[in-house]
A and B are shown apart, each in its own frame.
Chain A
Amino acid sequence: MLSEEYLVQQAVNGDQAAFTQLYNQNFDRIHRYIYVKVRSQAEAEDLTQDVFIKALESIGSYKWRDLPFAAWLFKIAHNRVIDHIRKQSKEKRASLDEAYARSMEDPIQMTERNFEVYQLKEALERLPGAQREVATLRFIGQLSITEVARTLGKSEGTVKALQFNATASLRKALQGRFDG
């Protein structure tokens, strides 16, 4: 399997197949990251596409040494989401109807999963900004501590502390909901 760095180098040099491979590797997690930050499925889908189109447009100027590729993508996604949220005049929570887990399994299981995703989204929304950002990149985007630190421009120590606090808050929120 080709290393990510090699693929990125190829993509920077205009190899569209390499870019497509990187796209396939990162698509789901970028989509997941955006989904928990916006209020609807349609918005998440549109923004996910925008992120990759933006990445395609800017790949020529990407430099590996500045930021790992995944971190670079998440940074684009983060900026795109921020722009999007700014444009929203009023905050509206995602309804249960819009919850997203899809499967071919039985409807009861699907409903349960949708509810769990909905709870997670709500719990994340209640976190302080820095904690929410770290938790989203780390647990939803599956970035490493180093990548999160590079994406957010924070030290690894700070990111670890934020991650710990965010986990504690989320546990409380999710457990409380589950118990209630």
Chain B
Amino acid sequence: MARKLDDIFNECYERMRSGESLMSCLARYPEHRAELEPMLLAAFDIGRRASYIQPRPEFKHWAQVRLEGAQYYARQQRQTVTPSQSSWWRQGWAVAATAVIILLVTTSSTVAASSNAMPDQTLYPIKLATEEVRLALAVTDTQKAQIHTQLAETRAAELEAMANQGKTEHAAITAARLAKQLELANAAIANLESTTGTTPTTTATPEPTIPEPSPPTPPEEVPAVQPPTTEEQPTATTTEEQPTTTTTEQPTATTTEEQPTTTTTEQPTATTTEEQPTTTTTEQPTATTTEEQPTTTTTEQPSTTEEPQTTPAATKHDKRAAERERLKKLLEESKSKSQVALENAKENASQETKADWQRAIDKIKDKNKEKQDTRDWNYWYKDKGRDENKSQSDNTTGSGGTPTNVSPSQNQPSTPK
């Protein structure tokens, strides 16, 4: 049976792609010459036209940068997801070795000179290496977040310089570096947030103090509510008292400091209840507890000794929160500065490179968006995990911020379950 024409056509096409001439191919199948020749010419005409479709060099460059960014990100992800102890040590040794080499090979003047190097200068790699060492020497989470933020500021300044000079290629690379650095800095700040706790109210800090007063108190009542209330509940071991207090003062008793006042006011008279909303929350507990000590049981005394412990923790927490906010603000400033510089560069750029500048702008925007999304998810997971843990072990502390809504008599049965 004769070979099908499509098969012969394919064979000839392949032969010609491998370098055989049209005439030579046609000579193999003289009986099909008339049909084959126009078809083969058409196939090569299609190939010729298609060969005119070439990616723009700028696009190729950007695509390469984006791929490198994705590869870098994937590498980072692998490192952060499985930070095995051995790799940590290996990393530590590598950093130490790098530090020694840098110290030995380069003089201090070279390092100093490199600190102002721009991406288009020869000393720039030394600057980057120095930054790595600096980062590796950071011990605490706060230090790491600070250095990452500083590095982001540096990258933004470099990008601004490159944009002002209209250096498209260097700006492209620096934009990619800035995007990565913003990502790292945000992650470091997020890490800071997770260690600090997301709620800056006093409910977060007193929690560690719960175990301290627990020994003198009955075991059932320790996990009932927050620290100040744990002292109160022993006083209100006769659970009949507290239900009466909660009905009167539910709107006011939102913070932990206020809770001592709520219990104390009940016992004297209704006149004291009017004072509590007007006075400050920090002063009242100390004043009222001293007055009430005779009336209440001795278990209230730990509450007066414990409160000074919570305030330094709160101030430390506030400091960290303030630092976190400061770093976030700096990052935002760096980002917006570099974006403005890129926008200006785009305006002044030639028509051909405008798209490249736009990509640089998008890159920083996109990275931040991605990072924001992943950070949100991280929080979601963390919160979810925290909620689950709480619901399992410490169910009542979750509602400790609003103990007035639920009477202690209702809380207590729920904790053992």
On chain B, the residues within 8 Å of A62 by CB distance are none
CB distance from B44 to the nearest CB of A (A): 9
Query: Contact size class for B?
Result: 20 to 34
Query: Does B369 count as interface, using CB distance less than 8 angstroms?
Result: no
CB distance from B262 to the nearest CB of A (A): 56
CB distance from A84 to the nearest CB of B (A): 17
B63 lies within 8 A of A48 (CB): yes
Q: Which residue of B lies closest to A171 (CB)?
A: B42
On chain A, the residues within 8 Å of B60 by CB distance are 27
The complex places the Cα of A57 from the Cα of B46 at a distance, in Å, of 33
A16 lies within 8 A of B59 (CB): no
Query: Does A174 count as interface, using CB distance less than 8 angstroms?
Result: yes
The complex places the Cα of A20 from the Cα of B56 at a distance, in Å, of 19
On chain A, the residues within 8 Å of B50 by CB distance are 32, 36, 117, 120, 139-140
Contacts A167-B9, A174-B45 given: A36-B63 contact, CB under 8 Å?
no
Segment touching B, from A1-9, A68-76, A85-93, A158-166: A158-166
On chain B, the residues within 8 Å of A164 by CB distance are 5-6, 9-10, 39
On chain B, the residues within 8 Å of A160 by CB distance are 4, 6-7, 9-10
Give the most central of B14, B50, B63, B70: most A CB within 10 Å: B50
Question: How many interface contacts (CB-CB < 8 Å) are there between A and B?
Answer: 108
On chain B, the residues within 8 Å of A45 by CB distance are 55-56, 59, 63
Give the most central of B46, B47, B64, B70: most A CB within 10 Å: B46
On chain B, the residues within 8 Å of A12 by CB distance are none
A56-B70, A101-B52, A164-B5 provided; 5 other pairs, C-beta below 8 A? A23-B67, A36-B50, A117-B53, A145-B14, A171-B42
The complex places the Cα of A145 from the Cα of B23 at a distance, in Å, of 23
Q: Which of B1-24 contact A (CB under 8 A)?
A: 4-7, 9-10, 14
Query: Does B49 count as interface, using CB distance less than 8 angstroms?
Result: yes
The complex places the Cα of A114 from the Cα of B59 at a distance, in Å, of 18
Q: Which residue of B lies closest to A16 (CB)?
A: B71
Query: Does A108 count as interface, using CB distance less than 8 angstroms?
Result: no
Chain B 225-246 per-residue mask, 1 if CB under 8 angstroms from chain A, else 0: 0000000000000000000000
B71 lies within 8 A of A28 (CB): no
The complex places the Cα of A101 from the Cα of B53 at a distance, in Å, of 5
Contacts A56-B71, A135-B46, A163-B6 given: A49-B66 contact, CB under 8 Å?
yes
Chain A 93-111 per-residue mask, 1 if CB under 8 angstroms from chain B, else 0: 0000000111000000000
Q: Which residue of B lies closest to A52 (CB)?
A: B67
The complex places the Cα of A31 from the Cα of B53 at a distance, in Å, of 8
B67 lies within 8 A of A20 (CB): yes
The complex places the Cα of A25 from the Cα of B46 at a distance, in Å, of 21
CB distance from A162 to the nearest CB of B (A): 9
Query: Does A119 count as interface, using CB distance less than 8 angstroms?
Result: yes
The complex places the Cα of A57 from the Cα of B74 at a distance, in Å, of 8
On chain B, the residues within 8 Å of A157 by CB distance are 7
The complex places the Cα of A19 from the Cα of B39 at a distance, in Å, of 37
B39 lies within 8 A of A56 (CB): no
CB distance from A4 to the nearest CB of B (A): 17
Contacts A52-B63, A56-B74 given: A163-B52 contact, CB under 8 Å?
no
Q: Which residue of B lies closest to A20 (CB)?
A: B67
